[in-house]
Chain A
Amino acid sequence: MSKFIINIIFIFVFTYGFAQDTILPANDSIKKEQKFGFRIGLDLSRPIVQLIQKQEVGFEITGDYRLAKNWYAAAEIGYASEPGKEDFITYHTNGSYAKLGFNYNTYENWTGLNNEVYVGLRYGFSTFNQQLISYTTTDLDHYFGDQTYTPNLKYTGLNGHWAELNVGLKVEVMKNLFLTTSIQFKKLISSKQPDNFSNLYIPGFNKVLLNNNGFGFNYTVAYLIPFYKK
């Protein structure tokens, strides 16, 4: 008996659901308005690292401009001064970079919210100097011993360019104020290499990993200057 009652209740639930679908109006009369404008931001991860390590590491400024409901033109510019230490090499890189591209927001916001879960593509380029501070040649036979040289050789006029895939999150925490975080997957297209050395770090690209891959992230605070609503 109770089984019969429960089964009847289930049928009513399904019937109710179908009915809801046909009753909804075809067009919502309230228009969802979104803010369009220019958003400028500052990367916070660099100043934080600078405070911890007590040495200059650079800065990054971000900007984006809304083109359509889910499309944004985006750019970053920055400067990096990065010490490098490998097993047998000590070096230092400094230079500036710029990245241009666009973001696509994949997140469906509720009315009044302006958050984003986005994917983006960038083209980046950098001009920089790299200094070979010291290196050690190893004696694999351990007969004469390893030798350390300190040439302090500065290679200038180096450059590189690359492509990036970004995935990120933007959250509006206060009116027109956004916190954003993103991770970046980079692939070096080409770079001008120093003679008898190699570009181990490129500003904007970070450490050049195997197969010319790179990785980065940022954490920024940005302010939207709204121009109009659409």
Chain B
Amino acid sequence: MNKFSLITIVISFFAIIISCEVDDICTEKVLTPKLILTFYDKNDHNELLKVPYLYIWAEGKDTLYKNVNSDSISLPLNANADVTKYILSQNNDTINYIDTLIIDYTRSNIFVSRSCGYKTNFTIQNTSSLTHHWANGFELIHQQVENENQANVKIYH
């Protein structure tokens, strides 16, 4: 066996080692993005105002947020329908206010990668609505739900 064939075998051995790779696994933290809600003062639309004693659940589903005090909330949207209804309730021993947020949207499935598959992006429609019990009004500030980098809806109270 001459030197060249020995080199060939050594190179191929290393090439095999290098080309063996670990199975591709999906490492994305966010696939289908959630709707970002922010809460502002009804008297100053640029002042963030936390909502206390907040309980949130989608109609017909388990409670998603239990007794939180926050000015920013992320809500998953139903990818199997064109509308999601969320009940936003302020509840402690003395008060019980309930408002219903109805989000209408169109969906599109976007390819991510071989290992992650597809994700769903949403475009919020202007027909979305919010009842006014503890809430005072809302504004759609970013209707494309394609990442979780900015707020989509401002709710005033």
Contacts and interface: CB of A to CB of B under 8 A. Distances in A.
Interface of A: 86-89, 106-108, 117, 119, 135-141, 143-145, 147, 149, 165, 167, 183, 185, 196-198, 200, 208-210, 213, 215
A198 B114 contact: yes
Contacts of A136: 117-118
Contacts of A147: 79-80, 120
- The DSSP consensus for interface residues of chain A is loop
B60 to A, nearest CB: 11
Contacts of B15: 165, 167, 185
Size band of the interface chain B makes with A: 35 or more
Taking each of A147, A198, A215, which has the highest tally of chain B beta carbons within 10 Å of its own beta carbon? A147
Taking each of B7, B31, B117, which has the highest tally of chain A beta carbons within 10 Å of its own beta carbon? B117
5 contacts: A89-B114, A108-B1, A145-B80, A167-B8, A183-B16
Interface in B1-27: 1-2, 4-5, 7-9, 11-12, 15-16, 19, 21, 24, 26
Contacts, number: 96
Given A87-B117, A210-B21, A144 B79 contact: yes
Interface of B: 1-2, 4-5, 7-9, 11-12, 15-16, 19, 21, 24, 26, 30-32, 34, 58, 61, 64, 76-80, 109-111, 113-120
Contacts of A208: 114
A215 B16 CA distance: 9
Contact of A106 (B8, B76, B80, B117): B8
A180 to B, nearest CB: 15
A144 B19 contact: no
Nearest to B79: A147
